[in-house]
């Protein structure tokens, strides 16, 4: 490995690894990526992260894992295009939004497994998104106001994947209707215009195909790659 070179251990469809990829892209940080087979984890990977999870960052003898921690680290070490606020109160409020997002993520996976046609699960998902809708209304175009901040990138991956659950609905349910979630819906459109999002994202069909392979116990980590 080249001295000083930053390396990301990733999996192409992992929403947590996408957090790190978004921050790397936002800050244009040179790095190399190693995509790991998470079904048959190599020993050298588990040596680096005993939890056996991606993302992992490595630079010389430094190893960092847990997506949010990798992103905070990158934001401090590469201070261009700052994502975390300098203001402690704002940073604290941002973390409160991320705690709320953790609840959104839990409900998202229930939607994915049980389907958006289950009214209770759908309502529960929406109720967890509501505080995010309210926060955006107060903050503006992005959670960072006029510009993206760490919160935008940390919560984006599960909104990018929302069309997967919608496409699996037999009744064609609108998961986040515009009359109740106008700010989140506009935010999704704005996020889709950002270069780091374009660079790291997959379309709904690819996410769906990967999810189907994952649900069958045979995750196709290479889906969409050319020979």
Ligand X SMILES: N[C@@H](CCC(=O)N[C@@H](CS)C(=O)NCC(=O)O)C(=O)O
Q: Return the DSSP state at 174.
A: -
The region of 13-21, 23-31, 111-119, 158-166 touching ligand X under the rule CB under 6 A is: 13-21
The region of 8-16, 133-141, 178-186, 191-199 touching ligand X under the rule CB under 6 A is: 8-16
User: Using CB under 6 A, which of 6, 8, 54, 112 touches ligand X?
Assistant: 54
66 touches ligand X by CB under 6 A? yes
52 touches ligand X by CB under 6 A? yes
18 touches ligand X by CB under 6 A? no
- Listed in sequence order, the residues at least 6 apart from 120 whose beta carbon sits closer than 8 Å to its beta carbon are none
Angstrom distance (rounded) from CA 215 to CA 221: 13
Phi-psi sector, 33: left (phi>0), alpha (psi -120 to 50), beta: beta
In the bound state with ligand X, the residue whose beta carbon lies nearer, of 57 and 116, is 57
Query: Out of 14, 71, 114, 149, which one is annotated catalytic?
Result: 14
Of the candidates 169, 184, 170, 168, which has an alpha carbon nearest to the alpha carbon of residue 126? 184
8 touches ligand X by CB under 6 A? no
In the bound state with ligand X, the residue whose beta carbon lies nearer, of 63 and 173, is 63
User: Using CB under 6 A, which of 6, 7, 16, 150 touches ligand X?
Assistant: 16
Q: Residue 60, Cα to own-chain centre: how many angstroms?
A: 26
User: Using CB under 6 A, which of 67, 100, 165, 185 touches ligand X?
Assistant: 67
The region of 10-18, 87-95, 151-159, 214-222 touching ligand X under the rule CB under 6 A is: 10-18
CA distances from 124 to 49, 55, 103, 130, 152 (A): 34, 29, 10, 10, 22
Query: Residue 114 catalytic?
Result: no
- Listed in sequence order, the residues at least 6 apart from 92 whose beta carbon sits closer than 8 Å to its beta carbon are none
11 touches ligand X by CB under 6 A? yes
38 touches ligand X by CB under 6 A? yes
Angstrom distance (rounded) from CA 188 to CA 184: 6
Helix-then-strand count for the chain, H and E: 10, 4
The nearest distance, CB 53 to ligand X, in angstroms, is: 4
8 Å CB contact between 210 and 166 = no
Q: Which residues bind ligand X (CB under 6 A)?
A: 11, 14-16, 38, 52-55, 66-67
Question: Which residues carry out catalysis?
Answer: 14
């Amino acid at each position: 490995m080249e001295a000083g070179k930053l390396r990301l251990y990733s999996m192409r469809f992992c929403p947590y690894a996408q957090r790190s990829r978004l921050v790397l892209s936002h800050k244009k940080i040179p790095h190399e990526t190693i995509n790991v087979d998470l079904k048959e984890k190599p020993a050298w990977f588990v040596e680096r992260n005993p939890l056996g999870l991606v993302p992992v960052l490595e630079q010389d003898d430094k190893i960092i894992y847990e997506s949010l921690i990798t992103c905070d680290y990158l934001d401090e070490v590469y201070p261009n295009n700052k994502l975390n606020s300098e203001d402690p109160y704002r940073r604290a409020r941002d973390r409160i939004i991320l705690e709320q997002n953790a609840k959104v993520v839990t409900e998202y996976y229930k939607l994915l497994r049980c389907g958006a046609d289950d009214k209770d699960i759908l309502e529960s998902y929406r109720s967890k998104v509501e505080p995010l809708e309210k926060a955006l209304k107060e903050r503006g175009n992005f959670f960072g106001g006029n510009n993206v901040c760490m919160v935008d990138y940390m919560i984006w991956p599960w909104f990018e994947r929302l069309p997967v659950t919608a496409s699996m609905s037999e009744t064609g349910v609108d998961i986040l209707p515009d009359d109740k979630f106008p700010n989140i819906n506009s935010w999704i459109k704005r996020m889709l215009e950002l270069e780091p999002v374009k660079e790291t994202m997959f379309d709904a069909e690819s996410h769906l195909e990967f999810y189907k392979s994952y649900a069958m116990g045979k995750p196709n980590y290479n889906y969409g790659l050319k020979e």
